[in-house]
Amino acid sequence: AQKITQTQPGMFVQEKEAVTLDCTYDTSDPSYGLFWYKQPSSGEMIFLIYQGSYDQQNATEGRYSLNFQKARKSANLVISASQLGDSAMYFCAMREPNTGNQFYFGTGTSLTVIP
C-alpha cells in the first residue's frame, strides 16, 4: 500500500486566491511526522511546513497551513494568497520512526498559479 497518496497530479489557481493540495497517508505507527516540500524547476527541495502526529494544533508557516485530520489520515496543504512564484511541484512526505525515520514521498502535485 502507498504510504503517501497525492491524488491531484496538477492544479491551477488564480493569483491571490487560496488553494488546497491534498495528501493522505497510511501508517500504523502512533508517532510520525508529516512534511510538505516545494520543488521548483531548479530541482531543490524546499521545506515548507511540518506537522507532528501528536501536535494538537494545525501547523502554520506564513501563507502555508496544514489541515491535519488525524482520524481521516489526511494532511492537506493550504496556500493562501497564491503568488506567481508558488508555481512548482509540491510533495507531501511522512517520516516513520519504525522504519528508521525514513521519508516516504507522495507522487507530487504540480501547481500553476495563473495571473
Partner 1 sequence: GAVVSQHPSWVICKSGTSVKIECRSLDFQATTMFWYRQFPKQSLMLMATSNEGSKATYEQGVEKDKFLINHASLTLSTLTVTSAHPEDSSFYICSAREQGSYEQYFGPGTRLTVT
Binding site for partner 1 (CB under 8 A): 33, 37, 42-45, 47, 91, 95, 97, 100-103, 105-108, 110
Pairing of the two strands 109-114 and 102-105: unpaired
Which set of grid coordinates corresponds to residue 40? Answer: 521548483
Pairing relationship of beta strands 19-21 and 64-69 according to DSSP bridges: unpaired
Least Cβ distance, residue 84 to partner 1 (angstroms) = 21
CB nearer to partner 1: pick between 13 and 34: 34
Minimum CB distance to partner 1 smaller for 17 or for 47: 47
Q: Based on CB atoms, which residue is closest to partner 1, 54 or 81? A: 54
Beta bridge partners of 35: 50, 93
Q: Least CB distance from residue 16 to partner 1, whole Å? A: 27
d(C-alpha 115, C-alpha 112), whole Å: 10
Q: How far is the CB of 43 from partner 1 (least distance, A)?
A: 4
User: C-alpha grid cell for residue 95?
Assistant: 517520516
Neighbours of 46 (CB within 10 A): 12
Q: Which is closer to partner 1, CB of 2 or CB of 69?
A: 2
CB of 44 to partner 1, least distance (A): 5
**What CA–CA distance (Å, rounded) separates 17 from 52?**
27
